[in-house]
């Protein structure tokens, strides 16, 4: 063996031994969350169905389906999420480039002349060409760990797109339901205004006949004005809901109004939640958190491998002649090298990087566990809310039916002269309040179904292809 090579080989052997100690990582901690076997709350009555693609169709609204299609095509939030996927893909490609050798070349020619006092001038000409190749041996897996981190980061960005899409679609549906609900409440308020005006006509007729007093007329006029005043905030809310929906669609809000639909015709689907453990594979936010945890594990491995020496191979060759723009009969040279680089003193910077990466991983582990627990709570709350809202809506319908009956009887008694105006006014207020509460209960039930869809992860579709 060549004597100068012995120290280099011994150094490499020592580094390999040290590598086994320095890069042995502790087992990655996992989020300690015990998944329940079933949900505490059950779905509402009726036949439940599993979540399928295009879950929004289960509400039975063609205008909503068209709004969803428009949102997916024009939402700036989704376009931003797509660009973040592209950025993650670029970062992954950059990490993968480190696995490849670096190749560089050079080509040059020059001409010159030197003059000295008392001697003739001497021309100088030269032409050269060279090629060099360098390659870092990934003995400790630092480059491979960086690639794994990039792959996990790309997966996380794709899951973020799915989360953004689910949030967008639920937001569009919720705002459209609110817009229809406000229109329904306006219809109820206008009908009650018509009832109040009709009763006012009866009271004024009774006053002309000397049966009713001026006080009764004033009381009923107050009721009419109150009903008119109630229309103003509802009209404002409907307009603001329409503009919020326009922003979600990527439209200019001024002058926008959604396509009309029947609020009472909306169906409230009953969803089969599946097993709690299925959340880990259904919810895109949990999948994104898991991917980021995998990236953090890879970053820890990369930071630990950075403590070890870097080993690089290099080779170069060149041609040179003492001629201008010619490589005829050149002088050739070839060199091959092996280099070993190790930081001797960096003030502990690299070890601090390792500790920082390990701490970030611990934070992600805890955050992932907390996200799982939050998801379990959201689904359980969603199931309970959906069941409770259904019961409340059923009872409220009975309240409305009784209030309508009470108003009819109160009007009849007052018209016949056996009842008083205060009973009619009270029946009017009760009916309006009951009808308005029924519309609100219907909206709350629809919103509960939306919340449950979102808590369960909605439907999963693949993000747009990266160009």
The model carries a pTM of 0.81
Q: What is the pLDDT of residue 84?
A: 93
Residue 314 in any domain: the answer is: no
Neighbours of 411 (CB within 10 A): 19
DSSP symbols for 111-175: EEEEEETTEEEEEEEEEEEEEEEEEEE-SSSHHHHHHHHHHHHHHHHHHHHHHHHHHHHHHHHHH
Q: What is the pLDDT of residue 34?
A: 82
CB 161 within 8 A of CB 463: yes
Tokens of 364: 């992600």
Tokens of 37: 């076997």
CA distance 374 to 275: 16
Tokens of 267: 């169906």
Residue 55 in any domain: the answer is: yes
The predicted-structure confidence for 319-374, as pLDDT tens digits, reads as follows: 888 887 777 778 889 999 988 888 888 888 889 989 999 999 999 999 999 999 99
Strand partners, 443: none
Residue 237 in any domain: the answer is: yes
Which is nearest to 247 in space by CA: 167, 166, 175, 170?
175
Which is nearest to 152 in space by CA: 97, 98, 89?
89
Looking at the chain, the whole-number percentage of residues with pLDDT higher than 90 is 47
Residue 9 in any domain: the answer is: no
Burial of 220 (0-12, 13-18, 19+ CB in 10 A): buried
The predicted-structure confidence for 7-31, as pLDDT tens digits, reads as follows: 544 555 454 444 444 444 454 456 6
| CATH code for position 422 | 1.20.1600.10
Q: What is the pLDDT of residue 151?
A: 93
Q: How far out from the chain centre does Cα 100 lie?
A: 35
CB 312 within 8 A of CB 136: yes
Residue 261 in any domain: the answer is: yes
Tokens of 345: 């003193």
Residue 192 in any domain: the answer is: yes
The predicted-structure confidence for 232-243, as pLDDT tens digits, reads as follows: 999 999 999 999
What is the tally of structural domains in the chain?
1
Domain that holds residue 62: 50-101+141-308+350-456
Instruction: Decide if pLDDT at 43 tops 60.
Output: no
Instruction: Decide if pLDDT at 384 tops 60.
Output: yes
Residue 425 in any domain: the answer is: yes
Q: What is the pLDDT of residue 1?
A: 47
Residue 131 in any domain: the answer is: no
Q: What is the pLDDT of residue 44?
A: 43
């Amino acid at each position: 063996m060549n004597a100068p090579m012995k120290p280099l080989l011994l150094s490499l052997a020592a580094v390999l031994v040290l590598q086994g100690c320095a890069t042995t990582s502790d087992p990655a901690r996992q989020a300690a969350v015990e998944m329940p076997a079933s949900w505490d709350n059950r779905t509402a009555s009726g036949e439940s169905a599993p979540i399928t693609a295009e879950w929004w169709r289960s509400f039975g609204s063609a205008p909503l389906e068209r709004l969803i299609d428009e949102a997916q095509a024009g939402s700036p939030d989704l376009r931003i999420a797509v660009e973040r996927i592209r950025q993650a893909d670029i970062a992954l490609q950059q990490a993968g480039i480190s696995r490849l050798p670096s190749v560089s070349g050079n080509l040059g020619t020059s001409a010159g002349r030197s003059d000295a006092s008392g001697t003739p001038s001497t021309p100088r000409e030269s032409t050269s060409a060279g090629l060099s190749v360098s390659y870092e041996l990934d003995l400790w897996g630092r480059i491979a760990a960086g690639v794994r981190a990039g792959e996990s980061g790309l997966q996380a960005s794709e899951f973020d797109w799915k989360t953004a899409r689910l949030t967008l679609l639920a937001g569009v549906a919720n705002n459209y339901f609110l817009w229809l609900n406000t229109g329904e409440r306006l219809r109820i308020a206008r009908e009650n205004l018509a009832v109040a005006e009709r009763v006012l006509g009866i009271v004024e007729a009774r006053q002309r006949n000397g049966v009713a007093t001026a006080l009764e007329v004033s009381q009923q006029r107050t009721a009419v004005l109150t009903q008119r005043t109630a229309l103003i905030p509802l009209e404002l809310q409907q307009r603001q809901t329409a503009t919020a929906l326009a922003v979600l669609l990527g439209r200019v809000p001024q002058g926008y109004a959604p396509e009309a639909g029947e609020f009472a015709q909306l169906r409230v689907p009953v969803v089969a939640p599946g097993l709690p453990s299925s959340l880990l594979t259904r919810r895109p936010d949990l999948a994104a958190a898991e991917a980021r945890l995998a990236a953090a594990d890879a970053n820890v491995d990369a930071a630990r491998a950075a403590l070890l020496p870097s080993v690089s191979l290099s080779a170069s060759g060149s041609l040179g002649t003492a001629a201008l723009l010619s490589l005829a009969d050149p002088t050739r040279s070839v060199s091959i090298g092996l280099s070993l680089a190790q930081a001797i003193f960096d003030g502990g910077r690299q070890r601090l990087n390792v500790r920082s990466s390990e701490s970030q991983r611990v934070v992600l582990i805890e955050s992932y566990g907390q996200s799982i627990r939050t998801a379990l709570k959201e689904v359980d709350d969603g199931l309970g809310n959906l069941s409770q809202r259904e019961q409340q809506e059923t009872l409220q319908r009975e309240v409305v039916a009784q209030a309508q009956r009470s108003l009819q009887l109160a009007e009849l008694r007052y018209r016949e002269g056996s009842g008083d105006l205060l009973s009619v006014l009270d029946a009017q207020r009760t009916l309006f309040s009951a009808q308005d509460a029924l519309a609100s209960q219907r909206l709350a039930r629809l919103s509960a179904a939306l919340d449950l869809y979102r808590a369960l992860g909605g439907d999963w579709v693949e993000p747009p292809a990266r160009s």
